[in-house]
Amino acid sequence: MTHSNDTTILLAAFIICIFTITAIFGGLIYFQEQQISQMELQAGNTNLTTHSLQYELELSKNRILQLEYQMDVLTSPKIDYYAYGDSITRATGDDRYLNPDGSGAYIIQMVREFNLNATALHNVDGGGMDSSWGVANLRTHYINNTSVFVYMFTNDANDNLTVNQTIDNYIVIYDYVTSQGTKAVPCIPILRCSNKVAYSLKNQTERNMALESALTSRGIKFVRMYNALNGGKGDINTTYLYDGVHPSNEGQKIMGEYLWAQLVQM
């Protein structure tokens, strides 16, 4: 009789939790929809849709799509694959090359191609951020029922973090995630170039090699994500980087395929 009562209590608690999550996300979605209505009204009243207003409008619509997707995933029994990182992981920006809702992200495409029964999620608020941001925001982004936690930060060199800071941050993330019973998979960043930012191939390569060496010395397995887009040639291949920095949908797909090939060997 006691066992039956305990089961009933647990089931009731689970149902309450699901309703709570649904209510929270429903409220967030409603708030975003109200913001969109106000911006559209503002644009109509002024008879002028500025670039800034249009950008904010599209950003809000993207947030709604993300919230709806996250609500679906978070109310499922578990999350099989979670990707954590910056704008490369966010996979939104230029709608000519990327899906506006981030559904072209490598982790999503990987699951759709290789494991349709699995669930996948990725953060969308890391644009322009580095691994120090990743450490600072880890506890609010990590979800307890995650099976595999993949992470990659490409902006460390831009933000003038030392190589040792990058190494320390990657290890802090790894230690925390594994302490929660989740498989942590650090990814060595892709190589990038841009006319707007002075990305040095030498700097990126040396930083990546130092990170690999530090992880190897600690027995931590990792994925050389840069090999996904350059075929392991150690050079920058902009074929799948629509602006020299961010992978297109096709680039994200290739990254997802490469990641899966590495995961099945780990």
Half-sphere exposure of 127 (CA within 13 A, CB side): 9
Tokens of 98: 């990327």
- Alpha helices in the chain, H assignment, sequence order: 2-46, 51-74, 87-90, 106-114, 131-136, 138-141, 163-179, 201-217, 226-230, 249-263
For residue 201, how many other CB atoms are within 10 A of its CB? 13
- Rounded Cα gap, residues 93 and 126, in angstroms: 12
> Between β-strands 120-122 and 79-85, what pairing exists: parallel, antiparallel or unpaired?
parallel
Q: Where are the domains of the chain?
A: 1-75, 78-263
Tokens of 245: 């920095």
Tokens of 29: 């979605």
Residue 30 has phi, psi (to 5 degrees) of -60, -40
- Rounded Cα gap, residues 157 and 200, in angstroms: 9
Please tell me the predicted confidence (pLDDT) of residue 65: 56
194 Cβ contact partners less than 8 Å away, ≥ 6 residues apart = 243, 244, 245
Per-residue CA distances from 197 to 191, 244, 262 (Å):
13, 10, 30
Please tell me the predicted confidence (pLDDT) of residue 238: 78
Question: What is the reported pTM?
Answer: 0.74
Give per-10-residue mean pLDDT for the chain (266 aa): 54 55 55 54 50 55 57 64 96 93 95 94 92 95 91 88 96 97 96 69 88 98 93 70 93 97 95
For residue 60, how many other CB atoms are within 10 A of its CB? 18
For residue 251, how many other CB atoms are within 10 A of its CB? 25
Please tell me the predicted confidence (pLDDT) of residue 153: 97
CATH fold group of domain 78-263: Rossmann fold (3.40.50)
Please tell me the predicted confidence (pLDDT) of residue 48: 44
- Rounded Cα gap, residues 211 and 111, in angstroms: 27
Please tell me the predicted confidence (pLDDT) of residue 25: 54
181 Cβ contact partners less than 8 Å away, ≥ 6 residues apart = none
Please tell me the predicted confidence (pLDDT) of residue 75: 55
- Rounded Cα gap, residues 102 and 84, in angstroms: 13
